[in-house]
A = this chain, B = another copy of it.
Amino acid sequence: MNGELSERRRLILKLVIQEYIDGSVPIASELLVRKYGLAVSSATIRSELAALEELGYLTHLHTSAGRVPTDAGYRFFVENLMDRTALTLTEQRMIRHQFHQVRTELDQWIQLAGAVLARTAQNASVVTAPRAYQARFKHLELISIHETTVLLVLVLHDGTIRQQTIVCDVVRPQDELSRLAARLNDRWADGTVERIRDGVHDRDVSDALEVHVTDVVIRSMEWFEDQLNSGIHSDGLMEVLSQPEFAKVARIRQIVEILQGGRGLGPLIPRALASDGVQVVIGGEHGHDDMREYSVVLTRYGIDGEVAGVVGVIGPTRMAYPRAISAVRYIANIMSDLLGVFYNGENTRY
């Protein structure tokens, strides 16, 4: 995959792709010679370009148009050619600063990660909330809202919070609710759904509210486990629309649909959760027709064996891969660190 190409061809391919990525205009032989002061004439470049086209790395739309990378070309670029850059220190500092300012709230991390990623990579971003691999009960609280209305707040082991309202048949004073909550917290501490479910059969519960609470908790936890792949937050529609690919209305509709519906994006999440490192899926590699003109750069973040989520960038195949990859990697590290604080209480103190 590597020795196949002569040094010169590798260089030319790299230049073509880099130029195309930042100009979005098909690249001509003439331009390469002029702009990079190559020591050969444009005719030579033309024959090299023709060879690269023969190998499947480039195409052109019509005879008199410059070259454009194919999916295979981008793939080769990502794998073998591109410079592995990082974000500048200034950028890193600015990003860290922003995260520092919202340090305490999980939802805001997610939102911020999406916003920063979109701005940094100039494309749309995708973020899923960190999820434990398995729902584990942490805490529940029953709060009397108004006479027979009770608010159930369920905290899971990974910090997920779910709220539900329950309407009782009789008025329950707050201290009765608190006692029930304390009993259940004690009984279910760190329990999985299975354990809680099994516990129901082992004892004979007569209190209607307790039965109902148990039911709601079990259903919430089951629902949680079902939803592991969903809940994709996306941001940066405006940023991705600034890419020249979206000069046509049909194209805009397409990306909006992908981002909102999550169609075509869904299958990538479990894959990213299951792999290490940054995943890059380019155009046709999706095997999904709607995604043929889009690339996705995704990676997992979180704490091994405990909790994980996914952050990524989506945009046209003509994407600034080096930058997208470093941005995604950097944000994923930040998110992992933040979760580390949450889980293990490292670093920061008040």
Contacts and interface: CB of A to CB of B under 8 A. Distances in A.
A184 interface: no
Interface stretch (A68-76, A194-202, A341-349): A341-349
Interface residues of A, number: 49
A345 B146 contact: yes
A188 interface: no
Interface-central residue, A106, A145, A249, A260, by most chain B CB under 10 Å: A145
Interface string A211-249: 010001000000000000000000001100100001111
Interface in A252-301: 252-253, 256-257, 260
A161 B167 contact: no
B167 A350 contact: yes
B164 A104 contact: yes
A262 to B, nearest CB: 13
B348 A167 contact: yes
Interface in A115-159: 138-139, 141, 143, 145-149, 151, 153, 155, 159
Nearest to A106: B163
A34 interface: no
A188 to B, nearest CB: 14
A238 B257 contact: yes
A169 B349 contact: yes
Contacts of A148: 345, 349
A216 B105 CA distance: 11
A162 interface: yes
A149 B345 contact: yes
A166 interface: yes
A165 interface: yes
Contacts of A161: 153, 161, 163
A168 B238 CA distance: 40
Given A168-B350, A238-B256, 14 more contacts: A104-B164, A104-B216, A105-B164, A106-B165, A143-B155, A145-B342, A148-B349, A153-B161, A161-B161, A161-B163, A167-B341, A237-B260, A247-B249, A252-B252
Interface of A: 104-106, 138-139, 141, 143, 145-149, 151, 153, 155, 159, 161-169, 208, 212, 216, 237-238, 241, 246-249, 252-253, 256-257, 260, 341-345, 347-350
